[in-house]
A and B are shown apart, each in its own frame.
Chain A
């Protein structure tokens, strides 16, 4: 009953959030990657957009974890950079009279450099932000899953708008921003405006002066005037007036993400030195979920709106210290004894995503290992007594040097012979394993996991012990209700208990990248290093669990597109005949790879909705015609919006005559897919020849496919054709045949962002009309990128 009430409240809030006009639109963070100058900033920055990194000021104390789920004993959960394995190889030349029989010990120095360390999860780096479909970003990164949104792209699929921030009512949004602006003195952020260009905004005194008082002053305790801002809706009046007086500043204000983007602290230590890491996104997500509550002020988080206040306790804060150097002795002590670190001894799966760097200081460390190298005889040369002049027959005949081969003294005193000592050549080989390097993860990672799937009970493995059920219940009651009250979490609020237990196996994050090298005291020796190339971080569970919640639990089975949902999607097709025989295949991205070489995500983020049944139809048509199922999915998207009841040829209902095909009728979707595929195969072959003729070389996959799509649609909408002209399309002449056609390339990139149909309507080509849908290639590439 309690869960039902909470869920009801949750969905009520969602519906209110969506039905209330949005007060402040949160735009995409950035359009272009900005150069990082590897220096700390004075103010807070939004991690992927910064030109510098945020310096951590208050650091959570290292010690016994008194706060969160008791999975970790230490406040900083431990993981590690795995121990490096080295292989030693040396060629050794030894005296034949004293052969090597036992292993030889060699000293090797291992150097580890973590200066290129990345976070590996939680949020994307700027390159990923700009090159990846926003829906995919939201599926992968927790920050984007909860708070970001895919810019101002009207074509973006609804699924990519996972920003729970927009569910807050306008009052809460305004209060959060006012609090943030009031506390912020030097902050620069970037956003993409309505003009689709990147803008820089400095939150400083000059910018604040442009804002009306209610939008920049939170302090409820300051005076009655401020309170009136919130009570009487004055903030909204001032916001509206700002839009009339200074729309540019209103747009900048809208773009502000009022989360705590302070970095958090993490450490990497070999036991000899300590590197301080700067962990982005973590505090932003937690402050977004739980607000920012101190004894003096309080701003809400999403959970304040999802749950009744009596269930939503503040997160426990870890005590902090500004003098983190006092933590070093304990860090060094723990790191020097990696056997204490369970997360390092037990191999675990890892995952990693492109993400911002963490800029560790003191990034290099060394360790010495001793290799026991085993000798293996490669060749042996015996002692020899030879003529000093090897070409002298007299020497050979007179001195008979050979007879002195076993007697160095006689040989050398013979007058004409020289003694050459015999040699053994060995290959010394051996392996050794260094020490792992300990990673101290910020304690709020555990808090984050708890907020998503709920905290672990104090005695999670109670079933291993001979306790009665009553005893286990008592222990866990003490844990959950008294010692470590279970916080509301997405899973606890929305899903049955079993969901959080089977949410997802915990995976460490294998963040790039560690550079490890090794050298020997023997300069001619070769030492290779294996392993120790990633930083294992604690942990990806929150991110994985949120992915399952958003993409599997909360999505009807026929619309699930995530492979992680773990079951085949089935969809009733009603009266639509897909094929004469049941189909079981599915569309694989392999056949499209040749066309995607060198391409990133298109401008549009639209991904066609391809159910498993449709996927099977496209795959079968690919088998019949040789045309990639990804291309067929894109054609079906263009012609019929991937409606299973409508043909690939012209989007007409299956069974109706197809004027484009001379009035032919088809009884199944597969038949139309095969006909379309056959048609397209012909156009593709023709396009390749045409381009080769034009370009004097083999066309690229991109060129050939673009031209083929244009031929397939007749090419009549090529925007560089005149009379009627295609209005304001400004990229003529085309780079190659069909490159100016919206059918393939609409919304593929900035060059094709604005394209036109050349006729206004039937029988009226007096003016062009803006074409707002993505083209077939744009759709195909997004579908390709979405396939596993």
Chain B
């Protein structure tokens, strides 16, 4: 009996999860702007990110160190995959006081492969992100002390964070 209950609970949970995914997917597809389609499932808003590990207080203080030097732009950064990237480290007036924007343009975030062995964009991203870390170090900033936004498009932020995890890019 207990076993049957567990099975029913398991099946029910799976069905509920599928329904939630369908609901989220439909609500996203009804938008009118051009939304490059996310390749990975949308993560919950507000979920703690590996890019927001430090306390808000440390993040705020670290941002104050970096702020006078922003924006930092690096164009046409050559990577070993052959993909050149453009890097922007910035903060806008109305951004949250703890957050720094790190945007890496050039990698194709919609590329079908998620294996770094077959996806040159992940390599380009990896080397670019490592370049960002070195720029921050040059400015006496540890990236782990910052709260980071990887761009103004959620699909890019999600994929970038996934790659950072997969490639273990944080020090």
Interface residues of chain A, those whose CB is within 8 Å of chain B, are 638-641, 646, 650-652, 657, 659-663, 674-675, 678-679, 681-682, 685-686, 689-690, 693-694, 711-717, 721-724, 742-743, 757-765, 771, 773
A651:B155 contact, CB within 8 angstroms: no
B34:A759 contact, CB within 8 angstroms: no
A682 and B71 in contact, given A638-B34, A743-B34 (Cβ under 8 angstroms): yes
With the chains together, A639 CA to B152 CA distance in Å? 14
Q: Which of A657, A715, A724 has the most CB of B within 10 A?
A: A715
On chain B, the residues within 8 Å of A715 by CB distance are 105
Q: Does B32 contact A (CB under 8 A)?
A: yes
With the chains together, A305 CA to B86 CA distance in Å? 64
A639 and B33 in contact, given A690-B86, A762-B38, A765-B39 (Cβ under 8 angstroms): yes
A660:B34 contact, CB within 8 angstroms: no
B76:A713 contact, CB within 8 angstroms: no
| Least Cβ–Cβ distance between B44 and chain A, in angstroms | 9
Beyond known contacts A682-B90, A715-B105: 8 more, CB 8 A cutoff: A639-B32, A651-B32, A689-B75, A690-B105, A711-B105, A714-B155, A716-B155, A759-B37
On chain A, the residues within 8 Å of B28 by CB distance are 762
On chain B, the residues within 8 Å of A682 by CB distance are 71, 88, 90, 92, 101
With the chains together, A717 CA to B149 CA distance in Å? 21
| Least Cβ–Cβ distance between B117 and chain A, in angstroms | 15
A764:B37 contact, CB within 8 angstroms: yes
On chain A, the residues within 8 Å of B46 by CB distance are 663
On chain A, the residues within 8 Å of B71 by CB distance are 682, 685-686
| Least Cβ–Cβ distance between A703 and chain B, in angstroms | 15
On chain A, the residues within 8 Å of B73 by CB distance are 686, 689-690
Q: Per-residue CB proximity of B16-29 to A under 8 Å, as 1/0?
A: 00000000010011
Which of A679, A689, A763 is in CB contact (< 8 Å) with B38?
A: A763
A690:B75 contact, CB within 8 angstroms: yes
Using CB atoms, name the residue of chain B closest to A663.
Answer: B45
On chain B, the residues within 8 Å of A638 by CB distance are 32-34
A717:B75 contact, CB within 8 angstroms: no
On chain A, the residues within 8 Å of B111 by CB distance are 723
Using CB atoms, name the residue of chain B closest to A638.
Answer: B33
A716 and B31 in contact, given A657-B45, A690-B75 (Cβ under 8 angstroms): no
A650 and B31 in contact, given A693-B75, A716-B108, A716-B156 (Cβ under 8 angstroms): yes
Cross-chain pairs A/B with CB under 8 angstroms, 7 sampled: A646-B32, A651-B31, A652-B31, A678-B93, A716-B110, A759-B37, A765-B112
B36:A716 contact, CB within 8 angstroms: yes
B109:A716 contact, CB within 8 angstroms: yes
Q: Does B94 contact A (CB under 8 A)?
A: yes
On chain A, the residues within 8 Å of B130 by CB distance are none
A759:B110 contact, CB within 8 angstroms: yes
On chain A, the residues within 8 Å of B35 by CB distance are 650
On chain A, the residues within 8 Å of B115 by CB distance are none
Using CB atoms, name the residue of chain B closest to A679.
Answer: B152
B88:A758 contact, CB within 8 angstroms: no
Chain B stretch 99-154: residues in CB contact (< 8 A) with chain A: 99, 101, 105, 108-113, 149, 151-154
Q: Does B42 contact A (CB under 8 A)?
A: yes
Which of B42, B110, B153 is in CB contact (< 8 Å) with A724?
A: B110
On chain A, the residues within 8 Å of B108 by CB distance are 716, 721-723
On chain B, the residues within 8 Å of A771 by CB distance are 34
| Least Cβ–Cβ distance between A727 and chain B, in angstroms | 14
With the chains together, A322 CA to B36 CA distance in Å? 68
| Least Cβ–Cβ distance between B82 and chain A, in angstroms | 12
On chain B, the residues within 8 Å of A690 by CB distance are 73, 75, 86, 105
B36:A757 contact, CB within 8 angstroms: yes
Which of B29, B37, B153 is in CB contact (< 8 Å) with A765?
A: B37
On chain B, the residues within 8 Å of A716 by CB distance are 36, 108-110, 153, 155-156
With the chains together, A641 CA to B31 CA distance in Å? 10
B34:A742 contact, CB within 8 angstroms: yes
On chain B, the residues within 8 Å of A763 by CB distance are 25, 37-39, 41
A762 and B29 in contact, given A638-B34, A721-B108 (Cβ under 8 angstroms): yes
Q: Per-residue CB proximity of B81-100 to A under 8 Å, as 1/0?
A: 00000101010111010010
A761:B75 contact, CB within 8 angstroms: no
| Least Cβ–Cβ distance between B59 and chain A, in angstroms | 14
On chain B, the residues within 8 Å of A717 by CB distance are 34, 36
With the chains together, A245 CA to B49 CA distance in Å? 65
With the chains together, A383 CA to B37 CA distance in Å? 97
B110:A758 contact, CB within 8 angstroms: yes
With the chains together, A292 CA to B163 CA distance in Å? 74
A675 and B42 in contact, given A661-B152, A743-B34 (Cβ under 8 angstroms): no
With the chains together, A638 CA to B31 CA distance in Å? 10
Q: Which of A722, A724, A763 has the most CB of B within 10 A?
A: A763
On chain B, the residues within 8 Å of A679 by CB distance are 92, 152
A674:B94 contact, CB within 8 angstroms: yes
Using CB atoms, name the residue of chain B closest to A657.
Answer: B45
**For the complex of A and B, 10 pairs with smallest distance between CB atoms:** A716-B36, A759-B37, A639-B33, A663-B45, A714-B153, A693-B75, A659-B154, A651-B31, A678-B92, A721-B108
With the chains together, A535 CA to B116 CA distance in Å? 72
Using CB atoms, name the residue of chain B closest to A764.
Answer: B37
B33:A640 contact, CB within 8 angstroms: yes
| Least Cβ–Cβ distance between A263 and chain B, in angstroms | 48
With the chains together, A60 CA to B111 CA distance in Å? 72
A639:B31 contact, CB within 8 angstroms: yes
Using CB atoms, name the residue of chain A closest to B111.
Answer: A723
On chain B, the residues within 8 Å of A761 by CB distance are 29, 37
B42:A659 contact, CB within 8 angstroms: yes
| Least Cβ–Cβ distance between A775 and chain B, in angstroms | 8
B86:A759 contact, CB within 8 angstroms: no
A714:B37 contact, CB within 8 angstroms: no
With the chains together, A717 CA to B29 CA distance in Å? 16
Which of B25, B36, B149 is in CB contact (< 8 Å) with A759?
A: B36
On chain A, the residues within 8 Å of B31 by CB distance are 639, 650-652
A660 and B112 in contact, given A678-B93, A714-B36 (Cβ under 8 angstroms): no
A660 and B110 in contact, given A651-B31, A717-B34, A743-B34 (Cβ under 8 angstroms): no
With the chains together, A490 CA to B89 CA distance in Å? 62
Using CB atoms, name the residue of chain A closest to B156.
Answer: A714
On chain A, the residues within 8 Å of B37 by CB distance are 757, 759-765
Using CB atoms, name the residue of chain A closest to B37.
Answer: A759
With the chains together, A722 CA to B108 CA distance in Å? 9
With the chains together, A721 CA to B109 CA distance in Å? 10
| Least Cβ–Cβ distance between B99 and chain A, in angstroms | 8
B76:A693 contact, CB within 8 angstroms: yes
| Least Cβ–Cβ distance between A692 and chain B, in angstroms | 9
With the chains together, A679 CA to B90 CA distance in Å? 11
Using CB atoms, name the residue of chain B closest to A662.
Answer: B149
On chain A, the residues within 8 Å of B96 by CB distance are 662
B32:A640 contact, CB within 8 angstroms: yes
On chain A, the residues within 8 Å of B109 by CB distance are 714, 716
Q: Which of A758, A762, A763 has the most CB of B within 10 A?
A: A762
On chain B, the residues within 8 Å of A714 by CB distance are 36, 109, 151-153, 155-156
With the chains together, A723 CA to B114 CA distance in Å? 12
With the chains together, A639 CA to B37 CA distance in Å? 15
On chain B, the residues within 8 Å of A724 by CB distance are 110, 112
| Least Cβ–Cβ distance between B114 and chain A, in angstroms | 12
With the chains together, A693 CA to B78 CA distance in Å? 14
On chain B, the residues within 8 Å of A694 by CB distance are 75-76
On chain B, the residues within 8 Å of A721 by CB distance are 108, 110
With the chains together, A685 CA to B88 CA distance in Å? 11
With the chains together, A679 CA to B42 CA distance in Å? 22
A650 and B33 in contact, given A682-B71, A686-B88, A711-B105 (Cβ under 8 angstroms): yes
